[in-house]
Chain A
Amino acid sequence: MTDVMPSTSTHVKNVRDRGRRGVGRPNVLGGLLGWFWLAVVIIPIYYVVVTSLKDQGGYFAGNPLALPWPPKMDAYIEVFNNKILMYFTNSVIVAVGAVVPIVLFAFMASYAIVRGHGRFLKFANGLFLMGLAIPIQATIIPIYLMITKMGLYDSLLAIILPAVAFGQPLSVLIVSNFLRDIPKELFESMRLDGLNDWQIMWRLAFPLTSPALVTVAIYNGLNVWNGFLFPLILTQSPDKRTMPLALWAFQGEYTVNIPAVLAAVIVSTVPILVLYVLGRRQLLSGLTAGVGK
């Protein structure tokens, strides 16, 4: 389970340090590979950052890797004048609008699956497990058909609904696995105190499950924030664009203003970068949420 990883790894860390130090020789091969890969990762990212700080003249002339001094804000001004805040807001609406129901629905379903009995809940659990294997792209044509028939085409809700659906299987799996680890006695004692299922769910299970809910929220939030296919297929007007789609559109419009396109790339990444800086461990465990269990 992803959520216990931090504690386990610190434990292993202590043991591991002792064990590894015995080797004594520096790991030349590993070091070389490590530094090589660092260059492979950093150079493109560095290129994006410095290019976004150039004006167009600076972009066409001079060393592409030179740090422009003084940095020019032209590219950022350009994208902020080009409604990037609207696209950004759309992305926030879609991400929040999808993540909140994903987490709530998945939590309630998990609670029912773990605490309840009966054939219906068994069936539901089986269906979610099967759902893990459904490739999103393969379902896009029927989804497009349904969204148009519902009159939702070209709305942010059109992006949210399928995102909520595809968020369910994995989220239910993670949350229900977490709920199973809560000792039965806790539930029993609350029942003896006269609380009903609904109250127990919100007062006991919800706070105790919060680490799993955070993991699930991050995992789905990233997927929706970076999602490209649903916005591409299910919307068309510029004022419904989410960030990734806006990046693609910018690229088409600004064929010559590369600094502006790359400035937009940076703006679209800022929220996730902030998350990475503030809660790297949580973000990484959210990213691998699919694999833990």
Chain B
Amino acid sequence: MSLLALPSLFIFVTFAVVPLFGVVVLSFTKWDGIGDILPNGVDSWRVVLADPMTWHALGLTLTIMVASWLVQTPLCLLLGTFIAGHQRYRSVLAVLFFLPLLLSSAAIAIAFKSLLDPNFGLGAGLHLPILNQDWLGVDLAFPVVIGVIAWQFIPFHTLLYQGGVRQIPVQLYEAAEIDGAGRIQQFFTITLPQLKYTVITSSTLMLVGSLTYFDLVFVMTEGGPGNATRILPLDMYIRGFKANQMGAASVLAVFLVVLGLAMALGVQRLGGKDKAASQLEGM
């Protein structure tokens, strides 16, 4: 019987568990990506921790994390509640709302890059000065990236909230109506508290996920202009695969692992429930 688990276990350990420990080992070495790997003690750590770029990248990542949560969560909550209703037009809207889920990050990045182009994009073509900004310039690139990330991920979380709302027993609403509670009151006294575990699940995925927005930012800005959108995973990529400092990049990878775990545990603690229970009830 145990033999049946071997293929799965073997490939998983080889290409996921071993690299996880490997990255810690590599963070104490010096390697240019091609030549020999030499032990290097804590030098890479010292270099990375002393480099202002690290803190800049970490700051951007944390900002994206917080901003994404603040932008996406209220919108997803409201949209999810809205399309949980069974009116026909709402179901049609829901089908369209989920379209961004079908696109790859690379596709979304390219679409918005051309849409926002200052010379030939939407703003220029429609001659609307307010739309005609240098969207991917130094000042606006970072907020625009946050906006495009929201565009990409709001459908997924809306889908979660839609599922959550549909699980709320309808008797609660009936009782509230008998008590004369209005729609907004019902939202705050029934819908929101009942969605507690969906909020926890969605927030965990959002916060942990925001550590990994690599594809989109890479294709859209490559970390630029300057270093305006050089978030942590991009900083890791650039140091490792462009500057050939795999040791330093591994240090940043360790950062990512630790941050991800801390975030996942933190949100669960905040919710006051262990992971299994919250996920079960979230759907």
**A interface residues, Cβ below 8 angstroms from B:** 1-2, 5, 8-9, 12-13, 15-20, 22-23, 25, 27, 30-31, 33-35, 37-38, 40-45, 47-48, 51, 59-60, 62-65, 101, 104-106, 108-109, 111-113, 115-118, 120-121, 124, 127-128, 131, 133-146, 161-162, 164-166, 168-169, 172, 197, 201, 225-226, 228-229, 232-233, 243-245, 247-248, 251, 258, 261-262, 265, 268-269, 272-273, 276, 280, 284, 287-288, 290-293
Q: Which of A2, A8, A251 contacts B167 (CB 8 A)?
A: A8
A121 touches B20 (CB 8 A): no
Distance, CA A130 to CA B125, complexed state (A): 51
A12 touches B83 (CB 8 A): no
B 1-42 binary contact with A (CB < 8 Å = 1; else 0): 111110111011111111110110010000001000100000
Q: State the Cβ distance, B170 to closest chain A Cβ, in Å.
A: 4
Distance, CA A169 to CA B104, complexed state (A): 22
Q: Which of B99, B113, B211, B240 contacts A141 (CB 8 A)?
A: B240
Closest to A232 in B: B218
Most buried by B among A115, A128, A247: A247
A109 touches B114 (CB 8 A): no
Distance, CA A48 to CA B3, complexed state (A): 50
Distance, CA A111 to CA B254, complexed state (A): 34
Distance, CA A232 to CA B16, complexed state (A): 18
Distance, CA A169 to CA B16, complexed state (A): 10
Known contacts A27-B183, A60-B120, A141-B246; decide if A44 and B115 are in contact (CB<8 Å).
yes
Distance, CA A246 to CA B182, complexed state (A): 53
B16 touches A137 (CB 8 A): no
Q: State the Cβ distance, B102 to closest chain A Cβ, in Å.
A: 5
Does B174 sit at the interface, judged by CB under 8 A? yes
Does B72 sit at the interface, judged by CB under 8 A? no
20 residue pairs from A and B, CB less than 8 Å apart:
A9-B166, A12-B167, A16-B86, A19-B173, A34-B79, A42-B99, A62-B125, A104-B7, A105-B11, A133-B264, A141-B253, A168-B8, A168-B11, A247-B107, A258-B114, A262-B114, A265-B107, A269-B107, A288-B156, A291-B160
Q: Which of A5, A197, A261 contacts B114 (CB 8 A)?
A: A261
A127 touches B160 (CB 8 A): no
Residues on A with beta carbons closer than 8 Å to the beta carbon of B9: 109, 124, 127
Does B136 sit at the interface, judged by CB under 8 A? no
B82 touches A33 (CB 8 A): yes
Q: Which of A37, A145, A284 contacts B79 (CB 8 A)?
A: A37
B219 touches A248 (CB 8 A): yes
Known contacts A34-B82, A44-B111, A284-B98; decide if A162 and B205 are in contact (CB<8 Å).
no
Looking at chain A's contact residues, is the secondary structure mostly helix, strand, loop, or mixed?
helix
Given contacts A120-B5, A293-B283, 16 further A-B contacts (CB under 8 A): A30-B82, A44-B112, A112-B1, A112-B2, A134-B20, A135-B212, A137-B253, A139-B23, A139-B253, A141-B250, A142-B20, A226-B106, A251-B110, A265-B111, A293-B279, A293-B280
Q: Which of A13, A60, A64, A120 contacts B122 (CB 8 A)?
A: A64
B256 touches A47 (CB 8 A): no
Does B49 sit at the interface, judged by CB under 8 A? no
B1 touches A135 (CB 8 A): no
Q: State the Cβ distance, B65 to closest chain A Cβ, in Å.
A: 14
A291 touches B106 (CB 8 A): no
A228 touches B78 (CB 8 A): no
We find that the number of chain B residues with CB closer than 8 angstroms to chain A is 101
B 244-283 binary contact with A (CB < 8 Å = 1; else 0): 0010011001101100110010000000000000011011
A64 touches B20 (CB 8 A): no
B126 touches A65 (CB 8 A): yes
Residues on B with beta carbons closer than 8 Å to the beta carbon of A22: 174, 177
A228 touches B218 (CB 8 A): yes
Residues on B with beta carbons closer than 8 Å to the beta carbon of A5: 163, 283
Distance, CA A293 to CA B280, complexed state (A): 6
A146 touches B183 (CB 8 A): no
Q: Which of A41, A165, A244, A262 contacts B97 (CB 8 A)?
A: A41
Residues on B with beta carbons closer than 8 Å to the beta carbon of A8: 166-167
B22 touches A145 (CB 8 A): yes
B283 touches A137 (CB 8 A): no
Does B221 sit at the interface, judged by CB under 8 A? no
A23 touches B110 (CB 8 A): no
B257 touches A135 (CB 8 A): yes
Does B215 sit at the interface, judged by CB under 8 A? yes
B5 touches A108 (CB 8 A): yes
Residues on B with beta carbons closer than 8 Å to the beta carbon of A287: 101, 156, 159
Does B121 sit at the interface, judged by CB under 8 A? yes
Does B85 sit at the interface, judged by CB under 8 A? yes
Residues on B with beta carbons closer than 8 Å to the beta carbon of A34: 79, 82-83, 90, 93
Does B214 sit at the interface, judged by CB under 8 A? yes
B22 touches A142 (CB 8 A): yes
Residues on A with beta carbons closer than 8 Å to the beta carbon of B5: 108-109, 112-113, 116, 120-121, 124
Residues on A with beta carbons closer than 8 Å to the beta carbon of B229: none
